[in-house]
Amino acid sequence: MATLTALTRWVGPELKSCELTHLQRDSINFEAAEREHAAYLAALGLICDEIVELPAIAEHPDGCFVEDAALVFDECVVLTRPGAEARRGEVDHLLPHLPTDRDHLRLEAPCTLDGGDVLVVEDTVYVGCSTRTNHAGLKQLAHLLLPFGYRVKAVEVTGCLHLKSAITQVAPGVLLANPAWANLERVSASTLIEVAPEEPAGANALFIGDALIYPEEFPLTAQRIEAHANLHLVPTRELQKAEAGVTCRTVSWQSP
C-alpha cells in the first residue's frame, strides 16, 4: 500500500515579520499560532501515514509555509522560485527533506512562482497569475510538466495573495471558490461551491488523502461543503494574520 507523507515546518516567533501583500500588519500571538499549528498536526496525524516536522528557520519568517517552496507530483518534484525575494532561500532549506524517488526539477529566473498559486486537479494544473507568480513562471512550469501529460491553465487572481486563497478542491470533482477573487472562466468541475458571502476568505481547504482540513472560523461555508467531505476543522485565526491558510503549511506525497 502507498504511504501518505505530509511535510511541515513549525512556526517561529519571527512570523511577526512575515511578508504581507493584501493585509495590514496585525500583532500575531506566537503562543496561539503554535497551538494552531499543533492542532493542524493533530489533524494531519489522523489522515496521513507519516508526518515530517521540521524546525522553524529564524532567518525565514515565512518558512512554515512550505507549500510555496516546492510542488510534489507523482512523477517529479518542482522546486519553485518564490515571488518574494526574501523567501527564495526557503527552497534549499526544504530540498533535503523532499522525496527522492522521483525527478527533481527547478524553476529559474526570470520566473517567479509560489506553490500557493498552483492547484492540481487530476491531470490539470491551474496556475494563478498573481503578485507572486508571473507569466514566465507559468510557462516554465508548463514546459517542465509537459512530458508527464499535465495540462497547465492560467487563472487570473485579484484581491487575494494566491490562487488557493480563491479556489481549492474539497473532494473529487468538487471545487470551493470565491469567484470575486479569481477569474474562473477556464476552471472546470463537476460541482462548484461558492463560499458564503459573509466568509470571503473561506475558499482555502486542504484536500488530503480521503479527508478535508478546513478552518473552523468559516462555519457557514463549512455547512456548504460538509456533505461532500470528511471534515477536520482546525483553528487558524492567528495564522490568517500572516495571509496563511491550511494548504500552505504542508507539502504531501504518496510513495509506494
Q: Give the active site residues.
A: 162, 248
Question: In whole angstroms, how far apart are CA 243 and each of 70, 178, 238?
Answer: 18, 16, 10
Question: In whole angstroms, how far apart are CA 15 and each of 26, 45, 56, 99, 121?
Answer: 11, 24, 10, 27, 31
Tell me the backbone φ, ψ of residue 157, rounded to 5 degrees.
-115, 130
Q: CB under 8 Å to 191, separation ≥6 — which residues?
A: 173, 174, 175, 228
Q: What is the dihedral of CA 129, 202, 215, 247, to 10 degrees?
A: -10
Query: Residue 27 has what DSSP assignment?
Result: -
CA dihedral over 224, 227, 229, 234, signed as positive or negative: positive
In angstroms, the CA 25 to CA 124 distance is 35
C-alpha cell at 77: 518534484
Q: How many CB atoms lie within 10 A of CB 139?
A: 14
C-alpha cell at 76: 517529479
Parallel, antiparallel, or unpaired for β 151-156 and 124-129? parallel
In angstroms, the CA 249 to CA 8 distance is 6
Distance of CA 81 to the CA centre of its chain: 15
